[in-house]
């Protein structure tokens, strides 16, 4: 029987070794699968990080693009406005210089004349003044209304005050020098006398 016992013991030892071997193999397989899962998780995390980074970079580039587009629109609008202003006010310096000529025409036409030669000369001056004013009006020149208007410091320059009980306080009594606007911009305020 010792042989049988030996065989049994041998079988038991072999069975135990096989079980141990199987357990080791199972443990190794479990460790390998855990390592594979970890590698997959790391790869997945890396992919997610890479996707997030790319999405962030795309958002930043889109933001830069939108800012650049808005800056360009603002630049274009500014350039258009400047070109429009240049067109509207291109004659301002020339017209400002001509205001003294217009004032002299007004003074010449305010004189009274009696002789036929002086009357025809005055009519000629009126014609020249009218032609000049028509050309300037085409460029956008406007005369500022002053007499009997409420005083407006934006378009009137008060140089004197007066007292007229028939008119309200702050009403322009007299225009001492005409004021002019060019396309809505005051180029010379009207010099006026204002009621107290």
Query: To 10 degrees, the CA torsion angle through 161, 167, 169, 170?
Result: -70
Residue 172 near residue 156 (C-beta atoms within 8 A) = yes
pLDDT score at 40: 67
The Cα 3–Cα 104 span in angstroms is 149
pLDDT above 60 (res 1): no
**pLDDT tens, residue by residue, 117-140:** 999 999 999 999 999 999 999 988
pLDDT score at 159: 93
The Cα 140–Cα 134 span in angstroms is 10
DSSP letter at 167 equals S
Which among 136, 147, 150, 148 has a CA at the least distance from the CA of 181?
A: 136
pLDDT score at 36: 73
More confident of the two residues 196 and 2: 196
Verdict on whether the full-model pTM lies above 0.85 = no
pLDDT score at 35: 75
Residue 122 near residue 109 (C-beta atoms within 8 A) = yes
């Amino acid at each position: 029987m010792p042989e049988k016992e030996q065989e049994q013991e041998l079988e038991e030892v072999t069975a135990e070794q096989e079980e141990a071997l199987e357990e080791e193999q199972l443990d190794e397989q479990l460790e390998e699968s855990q390592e594979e899962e970890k590698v997959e998780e790391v790869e997945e995390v890396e992919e997610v990080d890479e996707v997030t980074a790319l999405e962030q970079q795309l958002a930043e580039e889109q933001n830069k693009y939108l800012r650049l587009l808005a800056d360009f629109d603002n630049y274009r609008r500014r350039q258009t406005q400047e070109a429009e202003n240049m067109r509207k006010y291109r004659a301002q310096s020339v017209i400002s210089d001509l205001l003294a000529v217009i004032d002299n025409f007004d003074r010449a036409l305010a004189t009274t004349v009696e002789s036929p030669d002086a009357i025809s000369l005055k009519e000629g001056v009126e014609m020249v003044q009218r032609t000049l004013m028509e050309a300037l009006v085409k460029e956008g020149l406007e005369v500022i209304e002053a007499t009997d208007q409420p005083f407006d410091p934006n378009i009137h320059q008060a140089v004197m005050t007066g007292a007229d009980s028939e008119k309200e306080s702050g009403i322009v009594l007299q225009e001492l020098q005409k004021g002019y606007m060019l396309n809505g911009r005051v180029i010379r305020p009207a010099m006026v006398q204002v009621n107290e």
